[in-house]
Amino acid sequence: MKAEKILVIGANGQIGSELVEALVHRHGAARVVAADLHTGFCGSEVAFAKLDVLDSKALRALVVAEGVTQVYHLAAILSATGEKVPLQAWNLNMNGLLNLLELARELLAEGRLLRVFWPSSIAAFGPNSPRLNTPQYCVMDPTSMYGISKLAGERLCEYYHQKYGVDVRSLRYPGILSSKTPPGGGTTDYAIAIFLSAKKREVFECFLSQDTTLPMIAMEDALRATLSLMEASPEQIKIRSSYNVTGLSFSPAELALAIRQRLPAFQIRYVPDERQAIADSWPQSLDDSRARADWGWKALIGMDQLVDGMLA
Ligand code: NAD
Ligand code: AKB
């Protein structure tokens, strides 16, 4: 493996905080730089930079000064928060990505390669996408500002690859389940909050209805998918918009049942709110056969391991 210098933007977030640890484990702390709008990264002893990804000059200066060869760009406003501040969501989600793609294009013209990872989401699909085993290619008509920004971002990634040769790679993440850092304002967040209530012996108020099935993935699997994609050779990457990947699918009622099998006193009440409409427009399960075929993806963590891990 060649010596990479890796920048993680949005390092304080749910994914960033664990991705930094995984990258340090693989490459060593000296090869990783954590960056976020807010200070406070409290993981490994890596260099931390306060960075607003919307400031293209600061982004360029950091990438050049650190000799960065790979960027994981995770700064975004997620689905539920995005509906409260749609213009901010559009601004951050689009212009942060554009700044980075433009920088990668400029560096490439100067003879420097910058490999970019940017995550899309199941939110890029919409009510007219097939909801079961949603294919890689189908109608995509997202209804949330977050989803609209993800679909537009996918098109930008493909455009910068086709037109300029930028080595950008992307996954359509489902809801990611982890227990270390709280999630940042999404529709799938109920599936993390439920475990906190269960541990505290509280009745859990679920903001989605009991039969709202959504695709999910354990953080460990999500990180494995992300690193496998970034470590694959360029020839293996046949899709430059974004790859479907998934772990498992379940509804709140199925998750509650799995928790009750371990904590029999656990109770749940269903009080759907405005997030229900977002969830109803998303797939229930995903077909990730292209990721499996192209770069060997396979989820490993099923329901039992996931629930045991979250409760532990
Ligand atoms: P998060 O909200 O937990 O973290 C985002 C981080 O970005 C925060 O630490 C925030 O401080 C930082 N940030 C915000 N504005 C910034 C700016 N202008 N400059 C620099 N940093 C800024 O999000 P997450 O859950 O870790 O998601 C990361 C990415 O993965 C996002 O693109 C998200 O859309 C995508 N994604 C996440 C999930 C999931 O379930 N967590 C699912 C699908 C896709
Ligand atoms: C959200 O719910 O907004 C995210 C996502 C699936 O993109 N977790």
Q: What is the CATH number of the domain that holds 202?
A: 3.90.25
List Cβ neighbours of 138 (8 Å cut-off, separation of 6 or more). Answer: 125, 129, 130
Q: Are strands 248-250 and 214-218 parallel, antiparallel or unpaired?
A: antiparallel
67 Cα to the center of ligand 2, angstroms: 32
- Ligand 2 and 122: CB distance under 6 A: yes
1 Cα to the center of ligand 1, angstroms: 28
In whole angstroms, how far apart are CA 243 and each of 78, 92, 135, 156, 222? 19, 22, 10, 14, 12
List Cβ neighbours of 296 (8 Å cut-off, separation of 6 or more). Answer: 228
Whether 290 maps to a domain, the answer reads no
What is the SS3 string spanning 271-284?
CCCCHHHHHHCCCC
- pLDDT at residue 184 in the model: 86
**226 and 276 together in one domain:** no
Whether 164 maps to a domain, the answer reads yes
**140 and 37 together in one domain:** yes
- Ligand 2 and 121: CB distance under 6 A: yes
Whether 56 maps to a domain, the answer reads yes
Whether 85 maps to a domain, the answer reads yes
Angle in degrees, CA 263, 267, 270, rounded to 5: 140
Whether 292 maps to a domain, the answer reads no
**110 and 233 together in one domain:** yes
Range of the domain at 201: 176-215+247-285+300-311
Contact present, 93 and 114 (Cβ < 8 Å): no
Type of residue found at 171: L
- Ligand 2 and 187: CB distance under 6 A: yes
Which residues does ligand 1 sit against, CB inside 6 Å? 9-10, 12-16, 36-38, 51-54, 74-76, 78, 92, 119, 121, 173, 175-176, 183-184, 186, 188
**104 and 149 together in one domain:** yes
**279 and 233 together in one domain:** no
**45 and 161 together in one domain:** yes
Which residue matches tokens 């012996």?
Answer: 201
Whether 293 maps to a domain, the answer reads no
- pLDDT at residue 39 in the model: 87
pLDDT tens, position by position, 48-73: 999 999 999 999 999 999 999 999 99
Q: Spell out the per-residue pLDDT of the chain, length 312, in tens.
A: 568 999 999 999 999 999 999 999 999 999 999 999 998 766 778 999 999 999 999 999 999 999 999 999 999 999 999 999 999 999 999 999 999 999 999 999 999 999 999 999 999 999 999 999 999 999 999 999 999 999 999 999 999 999 999 999 999 999 999 998 888 899 999 999 999 999 999 999 999 999 999 999 999 999 999 999 999 999 999 999 999 999 999 999 999 999 999 999 999 999 999 999 999 999 999 999 999 999 999 999 999 999 999 999
135 Cα to the center of ligand 1, angstroms: 25
Among this protein's residues, is 137 annotated catalytic? no
**209 and 224 together in one domain:** no
- pLDDT at residue 40 in the model: 75
Quote the pTM value: 0.98
Whether 294 maps to a domain, the answer reads no
**206 and 66 together in one domain:** no
CATH of the domain at 58: 3.40.50.720
**35 and 47 together in one domain:** yes
**224 and 125 together in one domain:** yes
List Cβ neighbours of 77 (8 Å cut-off, separation of 6 or more). Answer: 85, 88, 89, 92, 93, 146, 185
Whether 295 maps to a domain, the answer reads no
Tell me the best of 92, 187, 212, 275 to mutate to test the pocket of ligand 2, counting ligand atoms within 8 Å of each CB and taking the most: 187
Helices (H), the chain: 14-27, 56-66, 79-84, 86-90, 96-109, 145-164, 190-200, 219-231, 252-262, 275-280, 289-295, 303-311
**57 and 138 together in one domain:** yes
Closest atom of ligand 1 relative to the 184 alpha carbon: 2
264 Cα to the center of ligand 1, angstroms: 34
Closest atom of ligand 1 relative to the 16 alpha carbon: 26
Here the tokens at position 168 are: 């950008």
User: How many domains is the chain built from?
Assistant: 2
DSSP string for residues in 195-222: HHHHHHTPPEEESS-TT--EEEEEHHHH
**239 and 200 together in one domain:** no
